[in-house]
Structure 1
Amino acid sequence: MVTAEPPYQRIVAELRRRITEGELRPGDRVPSTRQIAIRWGVATATATKALNTLRQEGLVRAEPRAGTVVAEPSPAAGPVPPTSAPAGELTRERIVRVAIEIADAEGLEALSMRGIAARLGAATMSTYRHVAGKDDLVLLMADAAFGELPPATDPALGWRERVEQAVRTLWTLHRRHPWLSQLNPLNRPLPLPGLLAHGEQILAALEGAGLDATATLDVEVLLYSYVQGLAANIEREAHEQAATGMSDDDWMRQQEPAMGAMAATGHYPAFARLMAGFTTDGYDLDLDRIFELGLRLLLDGFAQSRRPSS
């Protein structure tokens, strides 16, 4: 009796062939778990298992915010062990660390208890001895991520400089882990000690600004939502790339004819003049530059509002 080949092995064989024959080169993105599930008509867990197998063979590697890419050829013969080797005791800390790696590379949608267990070489049910479920895991991940950078500011500085230090640290963490922007809605704040430690620095700095309690919290919420809102664009772009296989540059090139046609109608003269100014070099959407601009404008406006009117 011939046993049918497991679906994940067929996917592995096809992607392995494309890599070894040079169709996919080092650094090229391979299909995401979402794309594999759609293309081959399999469950997400099956797609995850296929990518994990390729990772264990040393053919692919996880690249934060880029997804899974073809690895550089290894001089060593034979497969290499997976990034998160199953050696050692299964612990909550290892589960959280691997979950962060997956979310950094492919976003929260790619996260599953089964996929994490596969990366760790463990049975799925064994992970539930350490984590109650995915919702609980995401909170643990967020708390660990916010704890990666010390939130301390220099008390010798003025309130504005201390606020800038604290907000830049939050931006750095959201840049590193853009999935953080999907958590903690403003009207339903999460009790995360790691996040509150950063909020504490902003609140302590604002004590020197002479505000009442309501105004202080308003400003803290505004600053946090500013960071969160910008970082959400990083996460959305990663999601769109995973779903479509197109980079933002690819997408913009595809939209250029439609944008040009709209500008040519004469109905949007300001837009047309603006676009004409980018005909040579184009516009580089630099979120770090925009972050610094927005932070300065927010704090300039806040400082101006505190000055007595003449």
Structure 2
Amino acid sequence: MATQAPPPYQRIVAEIRRRITTGELPAGARVPSTRQIAKEWNVALATAAKALTALSQAGLVRAQPRVGTVVAGRRPPAEPDSTDTGEFTRDRIVRAAIDIADEHGLAALSMRGVAAKLGVATMSPYRYVNGKEALIELMADAAFGDESYPEQPPDGWRARLELGLRMLWRLFRKHPWLAQFNPLTRPLPLANQLAHAEWAMKAMDGHGLDPTTMMNLHVLGYSYVHGIAVNLEREAHAEATTGLSDEQWMDTQASALAAIVESGAAPTFAKTVRALDDGYDLRLDDLFEFGLQPLLDGFAVIIEGGH
């Protein structure tokens, strides 16, 4: 029986690994981009992105802001170490997993990938964490604890609540996968996440609000931040799999959008689009800022009105 050829992405990984381990690609050198891989190996962009994800999980490459994907600082062995060094803890496992999720998204996370990143045997992390689901909970708790509030809060409920919402946005920005975790209707009692709830509720306490209203306002504020942040990882994933920035992707939709505008089916939409002289750039940071003060204005009606 003929041996089945490995998937294309594995052949790409093997070749780039060879270039790294032989020194052809030294530490800090840029590795081929998604588009370059797709062209050199004649594969789809999604396959190229999968190869880069596998290389990152193996600790061979890392993303460097404003540069691209580069060879990791330490040249790794040709294959992951098959022995457990014993020099790692649960915290190191969690932080390695966070690094993978930050760079490639939660879908790219695996216990095998974490072990490869740490250079230990595949089953070693299981001695510290029961499995991927338990690992993600530990990751989320650690990520929510990456920012701390000042010991002396600002004056006034509004300033304090605004600080809390901005803190959540920074955390989701830092860890885009975090917004994909834990459905709103099924919250998990994570200590570090509850610290954010405590901050928000303490800001509203003492204004005559009943418990249900306080809880509703907290959930509404969290949902505002979360509802925008949930698009952060989706945006990164879409760019990685298509090789197109948001602007480039919108360019591919220009003719379809023009057809909708000219169809007469949505006259108000068409009028608005035509009035946008420079087009419309949907930036998530700008959207967060645009809605934050109106949201707090609405809170003020309830909090300061004492209902």
| TM-score tier after normalising by the smaller chain length | 0.7 to 0.9
CA contact (8 A) 1:26 1:70 kept: yes
CA contact (8 A) 1:153 1:201 kept: no
Is 1:294 aligned to 2:291, yes or no? yes
CA spacing shift, 1:306–1:117, aligned 2, 3 Å: closer
Report what 2:260 is aligned to.
262
1:260-299 residue CA offsets vs partner (Å, 9 max, x unmatched): 11101122222122112223x2222222222122221111
Which of 96, 99, 118 is matched with 1:98 structurally? 96
Specify every segment of 5 or more residues in structure 2 that has no aligned partner in the other structure, as ranges. none
The alignment's TM-score, normalised by the length of structure 1, stands at 0.78
State the alpha-carbon separation in 1 of the partners of residues 123 and 18 from structure 2: 33
Is 1:272 aligned to 2:270, yes or no? yes
CA contact (8 A) 2:145 2:192 kept: yes
CA shift, 1:5, in A, is 9.2
Aligned length: 286
CA shift, 1:221, in A, is 0.5
Give the fraction of aligned pairs with identical amino acids, expressed as a percent.
50
Is 1:226 aligned to 2:224, yes or no? yes
CA contact (8 A) 2:64 2:70 kept: no
CA contact (8 A) 1:199 1:220 kept: yes
Q: Which amino acid aligns with 2:69?
A: V
CA shift, 1:169, in A, is 0.5
State the alpha-carbon separation in 1 of the partners of residues 254 and 6 from structure 2: 44
SS of 2:62's partner is strand
State the alpha-carbon separation in 2 of the partners of residues 268 and 36 from structure 1: 36
State the alpha-carbon separation in 2 of the partners of residues 112 and 143 from structure 1: 18
Q: Which amino acid aligns with 1:212?
A: D
Report what 2:142 is aligned to.
144
State the alpha-carbon separation in 1 of the partners of residues 32 and 207 from structure 2: 49
Q: Which moved more, 1:266-275 or 1:226-235?
A: 266-275
Is 1:70 aligned to 2:69, yes or no? yes
The alignment's TM-score, normalised by the length of structure 2, stands at 0.79
Report what 2:11 is aligned to.
10
1:238-270 residue CA offsets vs partner (Å, 9 max, x unmatched): 222233222211211111111011101122222
State the alpha-carbon separation in 2 of the partners of residues 150 and 80 from structure 1: 32
State the alpha-carbon separation in 2 of the partners of residues 17 and 121 from structure 1: 17
SS of 1:208's partner is coil
State the alpha-carbon separation in 2 of the partners of residues 159 and 209 from structure 1: 9
Which of 54, 75, 83 is matched with 1:81 structurally? 75
State the alpha-carbon separation in 1 of the partners of residues 134 and 262 from structure 2: 52
Q: Which moved more, 1:173-182 or 1:270-279?
A: 270-279
Report what 2:62 is aligned to.
61
Report what 1:189 is aligned to.
187
